[in-house]
Structure 1
């Protein structure tokens, strides 16, 4: 008997909505864990006196896939919106929902992060502020996008997708070739095919800190090549996947295979690099290339597995999941200064790491959810972020 569709065509894609929200919430967990990573002091604002290798695991595994997963789903929903609104309507919609939060939010977010950094330095120096570190002048090459870099990269992806759509989208030959290529990428060997160019870019990246995976393009308006390949291919895969929604069924059926490959590749990567960050750039040799490809296979396999699991298990409407999916965008935009401030506060106590970690995560999520419900959901900000104003409380529709 044929497996029934993972969702009726006329309904909202609740499973993909939920997984997109999960990808963003994983970011909060990853950033929360960074204060307790084992090993020597590194670039994060605080380094707690009670680190743990388990915190390393909490960081390492979600960080392999969370932004690949997000950009894949962002591409999928972007094409859906473009088909519904047309190119001009899509541009207006994304300018409001992506461009406006970046334009309005970047300055206050950077100021808040710097303020928390100054507080941490003041505490560490017995109530005195040390001289600020020297930083290069603001320029396109040196531009601290903070964690809002993903909005900037999304805008670049939208521009590229619309340009390619305008120049190549009317060619039937090109469309058939692209659709055939996507069917191959959605097959069981898809993660390997997608991993090879990313692995090559990672292993060739100058000053690549292999433990931290894909180099985050958060310090420049010129994204690095590895980030362009990773997030551009994920966005493009999602955009083209929306043209062939029947392929979603393949991901839903094959999630156990992809999950198994993801787990095995992750174990292999951890066996190679360990649970503590390595702050020495990787050597550019065959061993690094093999690790980079394994890392990329793990990231793509986790992505395929979670999309399939979401379609399998989360496709029914749930008011709680819908609420969290709506809230996740605001939570991710606003979380970093709050999480950092709570990490600084926890660095002043000597409690077990898991108690401190749980407190930071619980308090930050409680405050962020409260701010979303009281200040964002039924406000102009909520209309910017989610496309329309929403009533307070759970969505019962």
Structure 2
């Protein structure tokens, strides 16, 4: 691969994940499992949407963080540590700061407007009424907030040369990918609900560092060993079989949908 040429497969992958986000959020309204959670829940539901929403949720956002780590390494290699921090602040932190107040306003208007016209009102609105001390949420901008934290850590490691290039190389090592990564992901999710929530708090959430942070560093390592990505097509059918088996196990162990009291 030519390092100076644009990696169109990354653009295509990111575009596909974005389009699947539309499918995911639309399907949430018709999922029986998410009926008491999602604020646009429709009275008409079908079990098929449970499979769509859970399957997409399991890989879509981790994929975004892998791509983010991959592209962050491209930026550092093409520029410098200082320019990397300036670029990430301009393209991630600034949009987060600017659009967070707008997101609050839009959500407030949408929920107020929806409560007046929806019939029946989605069950989650009953929960909104009894919340006395709401926690400030970054809402759908949580991805930007968490990603900037990971980029800042990435910049600090590069600037201080704390680990040299060892960490970049280790993040694509087979031992990390097949042993360390599953262990870290498991421990990170042990205290979380199923399906795992969005780390949307303003304060840093350690489980997000272990979970999404691991995928970010996996992306960093894959950038250093792009030939690995090219070689995976040889194992397409074994990978598909592994996905099918893991999804079967996930759905067989999936707990009952949360009640309003649970929410």
User: 1:261 and 1:170, CA in 2 relative to 1: closer, same or farther beyond 3 A?
Assistant: closer
User: TM-score of the superposition, structure 2-length normalised?
Assistant: 0.85
State the shift of 1:65 in Å: 0.5
- Is structure 2 residue 160 aligned with structure 1 residue 179? no
Task: Determine the C-alpha separation between the residues in 1 that align with 2:241 and 2:16.
Answer: 20
1:379 aligns to what?
none
State the shift of 1:225 in Å: 3.0
User: 1:162 and 1:46, CA in 2 relative to 1: closer, same or farther beyond 3 A?
Assistant: same
Task: Determine the C-alpha separation between the residues in 1 that align with 2:230 and 2:119.
Answer: 57
User: 1:184 and 1:277, CA in 2 relative to 1: closer, same or farther beyond 3 A?
Assistant: same
> Would you say the 8 A contact 2:81–2:159 is kept in 1?
no
State the shift of 1:11 in Å: 2.6
Q: Which segments of 5 or more consecutive residues in structure 1 lack a partner in the other structure?
A: 1-6, 282-397
1:348 aligns to what?
none
> Would you say the 8 A contact 2:70–2:223 is kept in 1?
yes
User: Equivalent residues in 2 for 1:207-246 (5 A)?
Assistant: 208-210=192-194, 212=195, 214-218=196-200, 220-246=201-227
1:353 aligns to what?
none
> Would you say the 8 A contact 1:37–1:277 is kept in 2?
no
- Between the two proteins, the alignment pairs up a number of residues equal to 257
1:28 to 22, 31, 38: 22
State the shift of 1:154 in Å: 0.7
State the shift of 1:74 in Å: 0.5
1:263 aligns to what?
244
> Would you say the 8 A contact 2:84–2:155 is kept in 1?
no
User: TM-score of the superposition, structure 1-length normalised?
Assistant: 0.58
User: 1:125 and 1:17, CA in 2 relative to 1: closer, same or farther beyond 3 A?
Assistant: closer
> Would you say the 8 A contact 2:36–2:258 is kept in 1?
no
1:15 to 2, 5, 9: 9
SS in 2 for 1:36: coil
SS in 2 for 1:254: helix
State the shift of 1:145 in Å: 0.3
SS in 2 for 1:61: helix
Task: Determine the C-alpha separation between the residues in 2 that align with 1:40 and 1:100.
Answer: 32
Task: Determine the C-alpha separation between the residues in 1 that align with 2:24 and 2:102.
Answer: 22
Task: Determine the C-alpha separation between the residues in 2 that align with 1:147 and 1:165.
Answer: 29
Task: Determine the C-alpha separation between the residues in 2 that align with 1:180 and 1:92.
Answer: 26
Cα RMSD, aligned residues only: 2.9
Task: Determine the C-alpha separation between the residues in 2 that align with 1:40 and 1:11.
Answer: 43
- Is structure 2 residue 195 aligned with structure 1 residue 198? no
Task: Determine the C-alpha separation between the residues in 2 that align with 1:181 and 1:134.
Answer: 42
1:277 aligns to what?
257
State the shift of 1:132 in Å: 5.5
User: 1:41 and 1:241, CA in 2 relative to 1: closer, same or farther beyond 3 A?
Assistant: closer
> Would you say the 8 A contact 2:170–2:221 is kept in 1?
no
SS in 2 for 1:222: coil
Task: Determine the C-alpha separation between the residues in 1 that align with 2:44 and 2:167.
Answer: 54
State the shift of 1:124 in Å: 4.5
Deviates more, 1:191-200 or 1:144-153: 191-200
Q: Which has the larger radius of gyration?
A: 1
User: Equivalent residues in 2 for 1:72-221 (5 A)?
Assistant: 72-124=66-118, 134-136=131-133, 142-168=135-161, 171=164, 175-176=165-166, 179-180=169-170, 182-185=172-175, 190-191=177-178, 193-203=180-190, 205=191, 208-210=192-194, 212=195, 214-218=196-200, 220-221=201-202
> Would you say the 8 A contact 1:215–1:224 is kept in 2?
no
Deviations 1:362-381 (A, max 9, x none): xxxxxxxxxxxxxxxxxxxx
